[in-house]
Amino acid sequence: MKTEPIGSIPRPPALLQAMAAFQSGSITRDALDREYAAALHDTLARFAETGSPIITDGEQTKPSFATYPLSGLENLAPNGVVIPFADGHARQLPRLAKGPFRYAVHAGEYTRSARAQTALPLKQAVISASALSLLYPLSGIGGYPREAFTADLIDEAEADIRGALDAGAAVVQMDFTEARLSLKLDPSGGLLRDFIHLNNQVLDRFTPEERKQIGVHVCPGGDFDSTHSADVNYAALLPDLFQMNVGRFYLQMASEPDRPAALRVVRDVMNPSHLVFIGVIDPINPVVETPEQVRSRVLEAASILPPDRMGSTDDCGFAPFADDTSTARDTAFNKIRARVEGTALSAQELGVGGAPA
């Protein structure tokens, strides 16, 4: 049975210290880059030690899962959309101040850096076009209408995915955590459907064969052990979500209070071409799951979904934002190892094989 990580791993303390030191001007860029390289090397090695059949770079060199394309852009203002979390803290996106919109960094750069250090299959996470659409202000931008911005955004999002595939990614995962949040902002589902339509304009540029390597990840957010939309009913999200033109779906489920109900909705909306990865690890819970717990969660899902069309994953990344230290690095890797081992146990019981990626 297939099993994949979501993406981010907590950064080593030495890297976090170096990032802060660089921001304060007390170390050089070369010194920071050495810490980035060390963190990447350690992450890939520790991923391999878990037995994970497909690994990621842990997003070690990204400022966050959402803002990596913006690093170095000079046409941004700081006062963009605010995303509140249940514990009271918030994250704020920047605002596009003038056009045109271009990515400063594409995901292929991260894939190439990791590919140079490992022969294992690599997964690359990318941010969704819908998330970056929030950069455009409601008041508009003179001389750069929303239509022009959207066209540029679709081009850049396509290049982001294609660049990762061309650089050797076995799988590209579109992070779409704003999907569930959109239903909190607009319970009618109109905003969610707008987001899906935008993302599908990107995905429609890929062939059916390429889309088998592309997936979408949704969760209620995960930052400093808090969420932004866990109170939104999963059943309201899933039917529209499965209109996404991808081959793979990565679904938060371990932390879902009524997993069977959500799984039954997935069963009813998935089609035979879909491969569904069920979350069996809760990154927010500090307790490391046992392989036996993972096996039970996989078997629970397999009692509802076709076992040959499902796999296992984590509910969310362990540190989507670089400064999130709420989960220890060792804890993250121990949880990943439990997922790998528990999935193997469930595969034996189910008699399900198959390639890992």
Q: What's residue 297's pLDDT?
A: 98
Look up the pTM and report it.
0.94
Can you point out the beta strands (E) in the chain? 2-3, 76-77, 82-84, 90-92, 95-96, 123-127, 171-175, 214-218, 248-251, 275-281, 310-314
For 201-216, the pLDDT digits (tens) are 999 999 999 999 999 9
As a whole number, mean pLDDT of residues 286-313 equals: 97
Q: Over 70: is that where the pLDDT of 222 sits?
A: yes
Report the alpha-carbon distance of residue 181 to residue 120 in Å, rounded: 34
Q: What's residue 355's pLDDT?
A: 38
Q: What's residue 322's pLDDT?
A: 84
- Looking at 3.20.20.210, 3.20.20.70, 3.60.70.12, 1.20.1090.10, the CATH number of the domain 2-350 comes to 3.20.20.210
For the chain, what are the domain ranges?
Answer: 2-350
For 329-351, the pLDDT digits (tens) are 999 999 999 999 999 999 999 98
Q: Over 60: is that where the pLDDT of 356 sits?
A: no
For 112-171, the pLDDT digits (tens) are 999 999 999 999 999 999 999 999 999 999 999 999 999 999 999 999 999 999 999 999
User: To which H or E segment does residue 58 belong?
Assistant: none
**In 3D, which of 16, 341, 54, 308 has the Cα closest to residue 172?**
54
As a whole number, mean pLDDT of residues 23-44 equals: 96
Q: What's residue 225's pLDDT?
A: 81
